[in-house]
Structure formats: structure tokens, C-alpha cells
Chain A
Amino acid sequence: DGGITQSPKYLFRKEGQNVTLSCEQNLNHDAMYWYRQDPGQGLRLIYYSQIVNDFQKGDIAEGYSVSREKKESFPLTVTSAQKNPTAFYLCASSISWTAAGEKLFFGSGTQLSVL
């Protein structure tokens, strides 16, 4: 089945620790995205990548980092600089950044909590 796989499903972070969330897609999509979901706030864009080896900051990039070394992979690192990391993180992809009429495909999400 084609789709987006996020792992782990649940993740716990200790004080001062960096953690990495995995996102893999086999849809052959050029564009990939990371969103953060907090109750009552909808989805906020953290980072996006239009194509492999390229990525840009979204609306709330502080305390996060990403890489896009392979077309199918877009991992997100939550650094110790992110002081309020507890949230549900969603990875998404679309055929291309400029295909504005195309829908987003989402993974099942990772719930990150602070110990």
C-alpha cells in the first residue's frame, strides 16, 4: 500500500534531550511537510520541503530542524531549544509544492510528551 509512515507512535523526551521523529513516504511525492497539532489550535506548519535537498522554515520553526537527503524521507528533530514540545506531530506529502489543487496525504502522527 502506498502511503506515509511515521514512527514512533509515542515518544517521550527528557529535559535537554534532542529527539528525532521519522517520516517515510512511498508515494513518489516531491513535497513534504511537518505540522504540529495542539488542542484547539489546528495545524501549524513547522517546516516544508519542495524537493529533495531543499527545505524551508514554516510558521513555527524555532527549536526544530529537518533534513531531506532522500526523496522518500523527511525526519524532524525536536531540539532542547524547543521549550514546549508536547504536541501531536503530523507529517504530510503532496505531489508537488506548486500543484495547489492537490490534496495532502498524512501519516498517522507521533505524540511527543515531556518526561
Chain B
Amino acid sequence: AQSVAQPEDQVNVAEGNPLTVKCTYSVSGNPYLFWYVQYPNRGLQFLLKYITGDNLVKGSYGFEAEFNKSQTSFHLKKPSALVSDSALYFCAVRGNTGGFKTIFGAGTRLFVKA
């Protein structure tokens, strides 16, 4: 069965410092991996995805994510955090065998302090 784990409920970082939001996954076959962001009382917005190819994926708003097959991880990163990055971040996985449901992690709240 597919699953996604986001081990941290909250990540705190100072503005200007690098940030990492962690995600590990379990899926049969090759994974399709996504990061979404949610601002208060809003729907989710797509940030980036990994399908195949280069393990470092670049996305919106300066975010990037590193796919690591051996560690089954897909951590979200940004070199320099902004206060406006404060939001709820979701990692998601979609398999390509036996079903195409998108499974979401529980979410990690990012708080960037000025």
C-alpha cells in the first residue's frame, strides 16, 4: 500500500536561513512525488513534482526537492527562507501500478520568524 510520512508537525526557521521539510514514502513501482502548499483557509497549491530524471527538482517560489531512491525520501528545501513562506506543506505520492490515487502526508507547518 502507498503511504507518505512527514515526521515533523512543525518546522521553525529564521528568515534568511535555509529550510528543509522532510518526507518519506512507500509505493509499489516507480513513485510520482509532489509537494503542495496551503495558506490559511485556502486550497492547496502545487509547488513541484518528481516524475523521473534529475534527482533535484526545482519548483515555484524558489523551492526545490531532492529525490533519494535508496532512502525513499523527497525532502523539500529552500536556500533562504522568507516570512511569507510560513504555511502548511504537504508531501504526496501517486503510484503508477495498481491504482492512481494520490496519498497525502499529514502536513508540516512551517513557521519563519523575522
Contact = CB atoms under 8 A, between A and B. Distances in A.
B51 A101 contact: yes
B9 interface: yes
Contact of A58 (B96, B101, B107): B101
Interface centre among B45, B95, B107 (most CB of A within 10 A): B107
Contacts of A106: 36, 43-45
A100 B96 contact: yes
B102 interface: yes
B40 to A, nearest CB: 11
B106 A40 contact: yes
A18 B65 CA distance: 42
B90 interface: yes
Contacts of B41: 108-109, 111
A14 interface: no
Interface in B53-112: 90, 94-96, 100-102, 104-107
B43 A90 contact: yes
B34 A103 contact: yes
A42 B42 contact: no
Contacts of B95: 100
Q: Which are the 10 A-B pairs with shortest beta-carbon distances?
A: A106-B43, A42-B106, A43-B104, A103-B46, A42-B104, A101-B51, A106-B44, A100-B96, A108-B43, A100-B32
Interface of A: 4, 6, 33, 35, 40-43, 45, 48, 58, 90, 92, 97-98, 100-101, 103-109, 111
